[in-house]
Amino acid sequence: MNDHATGETPGPEGHKQPAKIRFSNTLLGKLPKQSVRNTFWDTGIKGLCLRSGKSKMFYVAKRTEGRVLYVKLGEFPYMTVEEARTEALRVLSQISGGSYKKPGSVSTESTLLWLLEKYVADRTISTPPMKESTAKSMLYHVKHYLDDFLELPISEITPDLVDKTYRKVALTAPTTGHTVFRYLRALLNYANALAPENAPVFLRNPVGVLSRRRVWSVPPPRTRVLTGAEIGRFLRALEARRTESIRLKMAEAAITPSFLLFLILTGARKSEATCLLWKDVSLPDFRVTFRDTKTASERTIPIHGKLAGILSDLKERYGTGQFVFPGSGRTGHLMVHQRALNGFLKANPDIPSFSAHDLRRTFITVGKQVTPGDFVEVIVGHAIQTVTGRHYFHPSLEDLRGPMNLVAEKILSFLEENPK
């Protein structure tokens, strides 16, 4: 629990009659983030409230010893309504029974659940902040696969316990095991970072035992790329799917092929493309700007004329909202899951299985065949590895236009090859 007791009311001054609503994840998700703080009280659990401002934070309030005690539970949506209610009941019970103690800094008695929620809350407001997708992934993997650890004092997470649990998870899901215990390693390192320098929680991170005993299974890097012939079949299938979906007036089915074409012609990450806004696209200038990037830094790249034409048609048909690739879900943008791609593959059996990231790798692979590698690295948002490159290679948008066109034209050239 990432709780913190305070005697101050979390709502703004003068807010004498705060709103009472029945909390739900959907309803709280719709509350806008704003500079003015408002407090909403749950009608389901007496004393549970949400302070909504620049962030959305759950509190539980209880009168004790002549004053109202407010205990911070966690931040929405990283803590769900169901989790907040469960935690609120636990804290209220402790306060009523006289066993509640205001937590201080990390100690050997701090639980993994407390550490997890503190880590996510602290990283969410750090610079650069943890991405929401990363926070959700960490919360899911740790709570799902390490549920037996959550209420343990972190001092009881021993190397032998780590070894035993890792082997159990990795036996059926080695990649998942790697992910879960990378997260655990980060959390336990953070525990030491929070502790006084002369009193670390751990002398050695317990997760280190996996390397020392040589049981850590690091997944091999994925290397799948489409060959020239596969690219040609892929592009033809996209165009056929897009044309047919437009004819049948199936909006989302028509948008997905344009999205996949965007990925293979720009090398963009799936997350960068799905969140792309029309205000960050300049069709007359043939350029797009990615703001929600993995490295938390903006990146502007040129686009090929063919892709600009596809985007122009997309805007004319479906460009009434803010997202370039709109979707029908709660996010408002297209959500391309692997099962959706599998449906496309099932309808086109001559195309080999691929993921969205395979299209990025394909762009990079083709790019390095036709243009100097550092140009490609800048276009896709990779860090330049050489010392000279990092200090002296900073190409402008116009410098990137020639290399981008070379890569896109090479990819599109496979469309003209005679299909087998």
pLDDT tens profile 289-319: 999 788 778 999 999 999 999 999 999 999 8
Residue 14, pLDDT score: 40
Task: Kindly state the helix (H) or strand (E) to which residue 57 belongs, with its residue range.
Answer: strand 56-64
Nearest Cα residue to 179 out of 213, 154, 146: 146
**Distance, CA of 395 to CA of 371 (rounded, Å):** 14
- Residue 104's pLDDT band (boundaries 50, 70, 90)? low
Averaged pLDDT for residues 131-148 = 92
Of 9-13, 101-105, 386-390, give the lowest mean pLDDT range.
Answer: 9-13
Averaged pLDDT for residues 105-127 = 84
Average predicted confidence (pLDDT) for the chain: 87
Q: Report CA-CA distances (Å) from 309 to 11, 282, 304, 305.
A: 50, 12, 9, 6
- Residue 212's pLDDT band (boundaries 50, 70, 90)? very high
Averaged pLDDT for residues 192-207 = 86
Q: Report CA-CA distances (Å) from 174 to 133, 213, 222.
A: 21, 16, 14
CB count within 10 Å of CB 63 equals 10
Q: Is the pTM above the cut of 0.85?
A: no
Q: Return the CATH superfamily for domain 5-97.
A: Integrase, DNA-binding domain (3.30.160.390)
Residue 71 in this model has a pLDDT that exceeds 60? yes
**Contact indicator for 207, 183 with CB cutoff of 8 Å:** no
**Distance, CA of 28 to CA of 25 (rounded, Å):** 5
> Which tops the pLDDT comparison, 6 or 120?
120
**386 token code pair:** 């050489």
Question: 112-212, what's its fold?
Answer: DNA polymerase; domain 1 (1.10.150)
**Distance, CA of 380 to CA of 371 (rounded, Å):** 13
Q: Is omega for the bond preceding 77 within 30 degrees of 0, making it cis?
A: yes
Residue 44 in this model has a pLDDT that exceeds 60? yes
CATH class, domain 228-416, is mainly alpha
**325 token code pair:** 């690739």
Residues 6+ apart with CB under 8 A from 226: 234, 264, 352, 354, 358, 359, 362
* Alpha helices for 39-131 (secondary structure H): 81-97, 112-124
Residue 3, pLDDT score: 44
**Distance, CA of 242 to CA of 252 (rounded, Å):** 10
Residue 203, pLDDT score: 87
**Contact indicator for 124, 130 with CB cutoff of 8 Å:** yes
Residue 119 in this model has a pLDDT that exceeds 90? yes
- Domain locations in the chain as residue ranges: 5-97, 112-212, 228-416
**328 token code pair:** 């029908």
Buried b (16+ CB within 10 A) or exposed e, 66-76: eeebbbbbbbb
**Distance, CA of 419 to CA of 344 (rounded, Å):** 19
Averaged pLDDT for residues 142-164 = 94
Q: Reduced to 3 states, what is the DSSP secondary structure of residue 7? A: coil
**Contact indicator for 359, 263 with CB cutoff of 8 Å:** yes
Residue 169, pLDDT score: 94
Residue 165 in this model has a pLDDT that exceeds 90? yes
**398 token code pair:** 């116009």
Instruction: Calculate Rg over the CA atoms of the chain.
Output: 26
**Distance, CA of 327 to CA of 296 (rounded, Å):** 24
- Residue 79's pLDDT band (boundaries 50, 70, 90)? confident
Residues 6+ apart with CB under 8 A from 332: 321, 322, 323, 326
**72 token code pair:** 């911070």
3-state secondary structure 70-84: EEEEEEECCCCHHHH
Residues 6+ apart with CB under 8 A from 110: 103, 153, 154, 191
Q: Is omega for the bond preceding 221 within 30 degrees of 0, making it cis?
A: no
Residue 2, pLDDT score: 45
225-255 pLDDT per residue, tens = 999 999 999 999 999 988 988 888 888 788 9
> Which tops the pLDDT comparison, 353 or 48?
48
Asked whether this chain's domains 5-97 and 228-416 adopt the same fold, the reply is no
Residue 341, pLDDT score: 80
Residue 408, pLDDT score: 97
323-361 pLDDT per residue, tens = 999 988 888 898 887 777 877 788 778 788 888 999 999
Nearest Cα residue to 343 out of 353, 335, 333, 334: 353
**Contact indicator for 33, 92 with CB cutoff of 8 Å:** no
**Distance, CA of 143 to CA of 116 (rounded, Å):** 9
